[in-house]
């Protein structure tokens, strides 16, 4: 298993995902509903994926081998996407990103139970550090007196659980389903769900808003492809903690684009989160170095 390649692909997916979230958040604050952004993104994704499939091996590549797995992966992914984007409209970008970091904990727990993957001590240590950092960062939002903030936390946590389920289904499907097929049915499912909300309320975007919608769509498609490919090269427990690296980008984009200055909780919790990602990378690098015969 080429864990390093999987790690690189996952990091690329993290970067695309964070930039996409920034586009959606900016558009939502500018009056464009999240369902409209998702609808355009998925319409483009479905079309591009169909073309890629045709050029790769023909449209028969999009024939699913296991409809039940596709259904569960697509539905859980759709719920995760909508709730995540919803949390972005109620919370600062860095805070929403931090809360979604609880997802790797659920991935690690469920991967050991359902996929039979061995959860090593360094995985637990990395996730404990990351989860501790996340709890510090979400603390200020857990007051019931702040309705919008509390709802944003609830949506972000729901997104984390749904994303964990999607990752597990994705991991189980990657060995027998082509990445284009998996991404196509997820995009198609999300397109149908987004249409129900978007068609009822469709404000006409300006030229600059269309540009951001299209940019977010391309980033979303790139994210899905990189994410799907990453699970073909590394285990779910290995890749789970790498999501923490998006914290750096979320803080920077939140400050530069939205003027969001992270509170003291972010500065205390973020180092723990970053350390968790670095720890998992170091151990995976050492493990691969030991398993690769030295050149003589």
Cβ–Cβ < 8 Å for 152, 87? yes
Has residue 281 got a pLDDT over 80? no
- Between CA 21 and CA 173 the distance in angstroms is 26
Whether 11 is covered by a domain: the verdict is yes
Has residue 87 got a pLDDT over 70? yes
Q: Would you call 244 helix, strand, or coil by DSSP? A: helix
Whether 231 is covered by a domain: the verdict is yes
Read off the pLDDT of each residue in 29-47 and give the average, rounded to a whole number. 91
What 8-state DSSP symbol labels residue 200?
A: T
Has residue 238 got a pLDDT over 60? yes
Q: What is the pLDDT of residue 236?
A: 63
Whether 239 is covered by a domain: the verdict is yes
Residues contacting residue 167 through CB under 8 Å, at least 6 positions apart:
103, 107, 231, 236, 240
Whether 78 is covered by a domain: the verdict is yes
Cβ–Cβ < 8 Å for 126, 105? no
Q: What sections of the chain are H helices per DSSP?
A: 3-29, 34-56, 67-88, 93-100, 103-110, 121-138, 147-173, 179-198, 207-230, 236-240, 246-258, 264-291
Cβ–Cβ < 8 Å for 274, 247? yes
Q: What is the pLDDT of residue 208?
A: 94
Q: What is the maximum span of the chain, computed from C-alpha positions, in angstroms?
A: 67
Residues contacting residue 147 through CB under 8 Å, at least 6 positions apart:
none
Whether 148 is covered by a domain: the verdict is yes
Read off the pLDDT of each residue in 6-23 and give the average, rounded to a whole number. 88
Read off the pLDDT of each residue in 217-239 and give the average, rounded to a whole number. 79
pTM for the model? 0.79
Read off the pLDDT of each residue in 19-46 and give the average, rounded to a whole number. 92
Has residue 116 got a pLDDT over 50? yes
Cα separations (Å) of 123 from 31, 128, 165, 258, 283?
A: 42, 8, 18, 34, 9
Provide the percentage of residues in the chain whose pLDDT is more than 70: 83
What confidence tier does 230 reach under pLDDT thresholds 50, 70, 90?
A: confident
Cβ–Cβ < 8 Å for 203, 34? no
Window from 69-83, 89-103, 224-238, 282-296 with minimum mean pLDDT: 282-296
Has residue 114 got a pLDDT over 90? no
Residue 66 belongs to domain spanning: 3-290
Whether 236 is covered by a domain: the verdict is yes
What confidence tier does 43 reach under pLDDT thresholds 50, 70, 90?
A: very high
Whether 295 is covered by a domain: the verdict is no
Has residue 262 got a pLDDT over 90? no
Whether 106 is covered by a domain: the verdict is yes
Has residue 80 got a pLDDT over 90? yes
Query: Which is higher by pLDDT, 126 or 93?
Result: 93
- Between CA 221 and CA 74 the distance in angstroms is 14
Read off the pLDDT of each residue in 205-234 and give the average, rounded to a whole number. 86
Instruction: Give the residue carrying structure tokens 């109620």.
Output: 90
Query: Count of domains in the chain?
Result: 1
Q: What is the pLDDT of residue 285?
A: 64
């Amino acid at each position: 298993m080429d864990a390093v390649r999987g790690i690189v692909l996952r990091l690329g997916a993290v970067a695309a995902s964070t930039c996409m979230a920034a586009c959606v958040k900016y558009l939502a604050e500018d009056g464009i509903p999240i369902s409209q952004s998702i609808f355009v993104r998925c319409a483009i994704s479905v079309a591009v994926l169909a073309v890629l499939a045709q050029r790769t091996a023909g449209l028969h590549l999009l024939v699913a081998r296991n409809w039940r797995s596709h259904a569960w992966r697509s539905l859980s992914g759709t719920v995760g996407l909508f709730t995540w984007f919803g949390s972005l409209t109620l919370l600062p970008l860095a805070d929403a990103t931090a809360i979604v970091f609880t997802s790797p904990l659920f991935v690690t727990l469920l991967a050991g139970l359902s996929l039979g993957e061995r959860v090593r001590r360094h995985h637990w240590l990395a996730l404990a550090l990351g989860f501790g950092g996340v709890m510090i960062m979400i603390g200020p939002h857990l007051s019931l007196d702040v309705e919008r903030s509390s709802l944003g936390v609830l949506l972000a946590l729901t997104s984390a659980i749904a994303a964990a389920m999607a990752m597990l289904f994705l991991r189980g499907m990657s060995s027998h389903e082509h990445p284009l097929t998996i991404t196509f049915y997820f995009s198609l499912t999300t397109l149908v769900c987004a249409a129900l909300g978007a068609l009822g309320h469709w404000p006409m975007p300006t030229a600059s808003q269309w540009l951001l919608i299209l940019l977010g769509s391309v980033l979303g498609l790139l994210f899905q492809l990189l994410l799907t490919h990453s699970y073909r090269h590394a285990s779910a427990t290995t890749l789970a903690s790498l999501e923490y690296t998006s914290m750096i980008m979320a803080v920077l984009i939140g400050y530069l684009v939205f003027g969001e200055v992270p509170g003291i909780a972010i500065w205390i919790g973020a180092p723990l989160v970053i350390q968790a990602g670095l720890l998992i990378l170091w151990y995976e690098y050492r493990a691969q170095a030991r398993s690769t015969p030295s050149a003589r």
